[in-house]
Amino acid sequence: MKKINFILVGLGNYSCQRLDILEKNKKYNLVGLVDTDKKKIKKFPKEYKKMFFQSISQANKKVSADACFIYVSAYNHAKLVCESLENNLHTFCVKPIALNHKEFKKILKIKNQRKNLILVQGQNNQWNDASIEMNKILNDKKIFGSFKLGYCITWGRQVLQNQNAQIDAKTDGSFFHSMAIHQLGQLVASLGLPHTVFCKSPRGGDKTIGYKNINRTGSGTVIFDYGEGRYFTYLGNRSGHGNPRGFAARWSGDWMFNGTRGDLKRSGGRITVFSDGSIKKDSYLQDIDDFQILDDERQYNLFFSSIVNKLKYLEKQSLETWLLMEACNISSKKSKVVNLKELKKALGFNL
Ligand SMILES: NC(=O)c1ccc[n+]([C@@H]2O[C@H](COP(=O)([O-])OP(=O)(O)OC[C@H]3O[C@@H](n4cnc5c(N)ncnc54)[C@H](O)[C@@H]3O)[C@@H](O)[C@H]2O)c1
């Protein structure tokens, strides 16, 4: 099978870890490295130097690429996603692909003219064993039936004092775009989008760990209305006082879903299924790992099969997750209920 030739944008630490995953994956072939900072290529072996460029457009003129992976500061995501799509590259950009609905609208305008390209917002937490099992049970009509009611609580402590994390402390709405996404992605994958969203978010977070007095950066609480009397509630806080079950696992969440045939309870990697008043299943599975290696490996495989088999579900799921994050921000800012169908229409979401 033909490999996907790719360009990697951003040569920071997290990005280089992703490069390692992609280079070990036999489906991908590195053809270009892009960073605005020339010094970044110095840490690479000699043979990589000839494939270094300072922009996607420069790289795309010199190498034959199919896809582009973007891992830079989120301030630059939207403009780089647009540049990548304009260069006719399938595009994978780490979350969030846009910081607000104006940026997202620009991306969709270009994307709508290039329906053959796959655009994916890179997310974590949907592809570890526990998340896959949760999704599977929730969609099993015999075991779970249909969704009626549920909640997710996620609680942890994210120190934002280092330079790389500054965007999270400084940008209104970053709680939903960079933290709640880890749970909302799982919700969209399992139950799809709700009809409406109503969200409240306290100002900032714990100042001793770097939060500033900026709205929607530390925590939030939401009611998702799935119609026909079905509701899901969410409460997230990354400015708490501890990290139960470790740093990354705080993202997995504590969940409860009530279905017409059974209930599912999940706490990190532990999933318990109840029916007729007793426990039907109790499993301890692999939760997200500290460096998100397994999650990204599986996600890159799905990106590959989306491109090769022209499958749209990964694109749709990841972009709908962005919509849900932004709906929370809009609802909290305007203190009103946001209707997802209306938001899709207003943004030109037509995939
Ligand atoms: N999904 C997750 O859980 C997770 C975890 C860690 C980091 N991240 C995200 O991954 C991204 C990269 O993280 P990192 O730690 O590698 O970042 P970093 O800040 O260490 O490196 C970013 C690199 O991008 C380069 N850059 C900036 N603007 C550019 C542009 N316009 N064009 C080309 N290069 C540009 C910089 O020179 C720098 O070398 C960030 O958005 C971060 O939020 C996600």
* Parent domain of 109: 4-117
Residues 6+ apart with CB under 8 A from 224: 187, 194, 196, 197, 231, 232, 233, 234
Backbone torsions φ then ψ of 213, nearest 5 degrees: -85, 55
Q: Does residue 133 sit in the same domain as residue 113?
A: no
Q: Does residue 134 sit in the same domain as residue 279?
A: yes
Q: Does residue 274 sit in the same domain as residue 254?
A: yes
Burial degree of 294 (CB within 10 A; 0-12, 13-18, 19+) = middle
Q: Does residue 139 sit in the same domain as residue 110?
A: no
Distance 81 CA to ligand 1 centre (A): 14
pLDDT at 97: 97
Nearest-CA residue for atom 6 of ligand 1:
14
Nearest-CA residue for atom 18 of ligand 1:
12
- Provide the token pair at 279: 């426990």
* Residue where a domain terminates, one of 49, 82, 117: 117
pLDDT at 165: 59
Distance 175 CA to ligand 1 centre (A): 18
* Residue where a domain terminates, one of 117, 145, 163: 117
Distance 15 CA to ligand 1 centre (A): 6
Low-confidence ranges of the chain (pLDDT < 50): none
Task: Decide if 336 is inside a domain.
Answer: no
Q: How many domains does the chain have?
A: 2
Contact (CB, 8 A) for 323 and 349 = yes
Q: Is 54 close to ligand 1, i.e. is its CB under 6 Å away? A: no
Distance 14 CA to ligand 1 centre (A): 7
Q: Does residue 108 sit in the same domain as residue 223?
A: no
Q: Is 19 close to ligand 1, i.e. is its CB under 6 Å away? A: no
Amino acid symbol at 165 = A
pLDDT at 290: 82
Q: Is 12 close to ligand 1, i.e. is its CB under 6 Å away? A: yes
Q: Does residue 36 sit in the same domain as residue 100?
A: yes
Q: Does residue 138 sit in the same domain as residue 248?
A: yes
Between CA 134 and CA 181 the distance in angstroms is: 17
Q: Does residue 58 sit in the same domain as residue 104?
A: yes
Q: Is 68 close to ligand 1, i.e. is its CB under 6 Å away? A: no
Task: Decide if 260 is inside a domain.
Answer: yes
Q: Does residue 73 sit in the same domain as residue 144?
A: no
Contact (CB, 8 A) for 339 and 330 = no
Q: Which of 313, 296, 311 shows the shortest CA–CA distance to 71?
A: 296
Distance 70 CA to ligand 1 centre (A): 8
* Residue where a domain terminates, one of 229, 256, 284: 284
Between CA 98 and CA 74 the distance in angstroms is: 7
pLDDT at 244: 76
Q: How many residues does the chain have?
A: 351
CA angle 201, 296, 138 (to 5 degrees): 65
pLDDT at 351: 80
Ligand 1 atom closest to the Cα of residue 178 is 43
Find the CATH number of the domain harbouring 21. Answer: 3.40.50.720
Ligand 1 atom closest to the Cα of residue 14 is 16
CA 347 to chain centre: 19
Nearest-CA residue for atom 31 of ligand 1:
76
pLDDT at 163: 63
pLDDT at 324: 98
pLDDT at 91: 98
Strand 254-259 vs strand 119-122: parallel, antiparallel, or unpaired? unpaired
Q: Does residue 188 sit in the same domain as residue 100?
A: no
Q: Is 15 close to ligand 1, i.e. is its CB under 6 Å away? A: yes
Nearest-CA residue for atom 7 of ligand 1:
14
- Provide the token pair at 24: 């070990």
